[in-house]
Chain A
């Protein structure tokens, strides 16, 4: 079963705009991670936020976590064409395995 569900399923924006993706999850987590997958490639780890954190930044990425609502958001600022990819959230619970959502396909138009 999928731990997270991303929203929207697909997002298309112009280069330079900000992109926001949301993730909702079902069970308690120790941390939530975001991964990027370029077409035909494996996943790349972007950022991790722990259950006791509310916000985290890394470069152009900002992640928020609301454990009361079981939701997280990923913001990419000043998007570039190279940011075009699928983005997945993944929750790590007590079972210590990562459970991935179904992903958001982001397209950044030049």
Chain B
């Protein structure tokens, strides 16, 4: 089966610019997650969707980050405006249901903010 797809793989922007990341989960997976992974740290959950509804966005910096999952399939994560500290890898993951134990991760988007 095809895995979780993400694009772009790399992005370099200047601070205060905007950026968007795209994720296509595994077909049939109802739950989608966005994580932020800063260099040298483990992934931190930003937002979790169940179909097209938000389950948990408690760690999403809502003044600059937004995410949507229209039609309950693909998802986009946007940062506007970006700060230097947003430099990280943004990982998308999916699972069949929220209670499923295993999450399947995409390759990530590496963001560098200058």
Contacts and interface: CB of A to CB of B under 8 A. Distances in A.
Nearest to A89: B42
Interface centre among B43, B91, B93, B108 (most CB of A within 10 A): B43
Q: Is the interface of A mostly helix, strand, loop or mixed?
A: strand
Interface residues of A, number: 24
Interface centre among B42, B101, B104 (most CB of A within 10 A): B42
A85 interface: no
Interface string B28-59: 00000000000011111100100000001000
A2 to B, nearest CB: 6
A45 B103 contact: yes
Interface centre among B48, B98, B101, B108 (most CB of A within 10 A): B101
Interface in A63-110: 88, 90, 92, 95-103
Nearest to A31: B101
A42 to B, nearest CB: 3
A92 B101 contact: yes
Interface string B7-36: 000000000000000000000000000000
B9 to A, nearest CB: 9
Nearest to B44: A100
A90 B99 CA distance: 15
Nearest to B40: A102
B41 to A, nearest CB: 5
B104 A96 contact: no
Interface of A: 2, 4, 31, 33, 35, 40-45, 48, 88, 90, 92, 95-103
Interface of B: 4, 40-45, 48, 56, 91, 93, 98-99, 101-108, 110
Q: Which 8 A-B pairs have the closest CB atoms?
A: A100-B42, A42-B105, A43-B105, A45-B102, A42-B107, A100-B43, A88-B42, A42-B106
